[in-house]
Structure 1
Amino acid sequence: MKFTALHSGLKMPLIGLGSDKLLGHDVVYNALDAAFKSGYRLIDTAACYRNEKDIGDCLLELLPKHGLSREDIFLESKLDPKDHGLEEAYTACLESLAKLQTDYLDLYLIHWPAKAKIKSDDPRHAGYRKESWMALEKLYKEGKVKHIGVSNYTLKHLEEMASYASIQPAVLQVEYHPLLVQRDLLQWCKANNVLLQTYRSLGKGKLLSEPVVVAIAERIGKMPAQVLLQWAIQQDLGVIPKSTNPDHIAENIAVFQHGDKWLTEEDMRNISDLHRGEKFCWDPLRVA
């Protein structure tokens, strides 16, 4: 496992198991079991994934099985967009803690920069974002979360946030892959000592058959998924690939078995040159 130091000084694994659409006790159990067996120590979830309770139940079973304690894993969740607001966000985090059956989260993120069921261009979103961040700062000060951050924020949202935040976000989680290289956000993160954690690293599977990626994988004897994850990790980005297949779960974390920088500078450039602004998720640029 490779770790990065957050601005708190605490370490966070660079690779974790994503859990979007992992539903049902057995599905969650099998995925987490394979992940812990392979060496994963970070689990990413969210209130809107509707699996926090199953993850909490499975952790109670699986941590002892793998000789682990709660302190050995990094657990992160996210605020449901419907729960934006000072009191709503605070209460929502407490509910996530109860479902996950833990006293604290290692990381809690605002999932989306807009409140659900309000039009994207509504100016009230800015106020909701501020209130939610105030709630996260309170949770941080109370020790209920060790780190706080945001997800799907644009540069505009981040710069707005700087006007009221007394605590710097530790992590920005966004869609980021070779078809969507968001350099402005990466530069902002590096300038502000914020970890950029990526999702959709494999482009919902589309990038696995990209000729440039396949050619590099064949040349060096790796899997296309490993090439894509290494492209991100080699830039010191966090990744949270999702899988229910034990073999794929093991293959994804095996990127660390081959050294730190096994993609050449030319490989990195060729993969980055695939950028064409293609998104697989909602576009936050439309949010006021």
Structure 2
Amino acid sequence: MDSQPTVLLNTGARMPLLGLGTFRLCGREDTFRIVDAALASGYRAFDTAAVYRNEEHLGVALRELLPKYGLTREDVFITSKLGPKDQGSRAREGALHSLSQLGLGYLDLYLIHWPGTQGRGVSDPSNPGNRALSWAALEGLHAQGSLRAIGVSNYTPAHLRELLDGCAVPPAVLQVEFHPQLAQGELRRLCGETGVCFQAYSSLGTGALLQDPLVLRVAQACQRTPAQVLLRWATQQGVPVLPKSCCPERVRDNARLLDFQLSLEHMEALTKMDCGQKYCWDPAGVV
């Protein structure tokens, strides 16, 4: 998988430290343009989901563009996620639909996107059972080789412990919101103790942190963009990131996060911003 820095998963596979998030990327033309810019900039991982409604366009773009860069399917790491509407008894069908939409024989990683079930309240007592049914379906597809690694997204420490206590195949990855204002200490410790790779999304705080005075000061001192500083803060701790953009220039800029180091002083200052601020969905209420 090229020479991109990677993290070792508990499956023995390696996942790139940098991936392209595709949330809100829509349309064949825009997807092609951004995937082209990403491949040219060295991205070798691509993250999508059933609810993003772009799996088909991503699959087409990769099939058409990989040869341009002398790459094959095995050179890229592709992740998708189970939609909340398919949580439970429809999980196998949902996963197979993602594979079909992407036009792939296997996924490198497949995640349960959300601990709840669409159409059910967060306190609905069926949620734990539906999560267990979904995981059993993913384990079956993992055993068949269709899903090379399986994991979860937006799980709280309680959800993750529940899964670890009852699974046959442990999750390879937990993907959650992570940035200096949301350092996720308990989840990171739990992942470290149980061999689960902790992966970040929304590293920029949905853009809010790009204007934070401290982030701006660190960026000026490093002569880097605020986005590069925020992404480097995560990757310097060994946390894989998934920056997203619909702008090719930003896609290229975001790839330049591994050729500089933040000082210990800057790392500590950014880490002290932690205040538990969530900018995305909060799964805390899901039973």
TM bin (shorter chain): over 0.9
The count of aligned residue pairs is 284
Aligned match for 1:79, one of 77, 82, 87: 82
Q: How does 1:199-218 map to 2 (within 5 A)?
A: 199-218=201-220
Aligned residue in 1 for 2:266: 267
- Residues 221-258 of structure 1 show CA distances to partners (whole Å, capped at 9, x for unaligned) of 11111110010001111100001211211111111223
1:19 is matched with 22
User: Given the alignment, which residue of 33, 55, 60 partners 1:57?
Assistant: 60
Unaligned runs of 5+ in 2: none
Counterpart of 1:286, as a letter, is G
Deviations 1:27-84 (A, max 9, x none): 1000100000000000000000000011111112111112110000000000000101
Amino acid at match of 1:238: P
Q: Distance in 1 between matches of 2:193 and 2:31?
A: 37
**Which consecutive segments of 4 or more residues in structure 1 shift more than 2 A?**
none
Q: CA RMSD for the aligned pairs?
A: 0.9
Give the TM-score normalised by the residue count of structure 2: 0.97
- Determine what percentage of the aligned residue pairs are the same residue: 46
Q: In the alignment, what sits opposite 1:148? A: 150
- How far apart are residue 163 of structure 1 and its match? 2.3
Q: Given residue 158 of structure 1, which amino acid in structure 2 is its aligned partner?
A: L
1:1-288 map, 5 Å: 1-86=4-89, 88-258=90-260, 262-288=261-287
Which residue identity lines up with residue 156 of structure 1 in the other structure?
A
2:125 counterpart letter in structure 1? P
Structure 1: unaligned runs, 5 residues or longer: none
TM-score by length of 1: 0.97
Kindly provide the amino acid, as one letter, of the partner of residue 237 in structure 2. Q
Aligned-partner Cα distance in 2 for 1:207–1:83:
33
Distance in 1, Cα, partners of 2:239 & 2:258: 14
Local SS of the residue matching 2:57 = helix
Mapped partners of 1:278, 1:228: distance in 2:
15
The CA distance in 2 between the partners of 1:108 and 1:192, in whole Å, is 19
Q: Secondary structure at the match of 2:259?
A: helix
Offset at residue 135 of structure 1 (A): 0.4
- Which whole-Å CA distance do the structure 2 matches of 1:161 and 1:257 have between them? 37
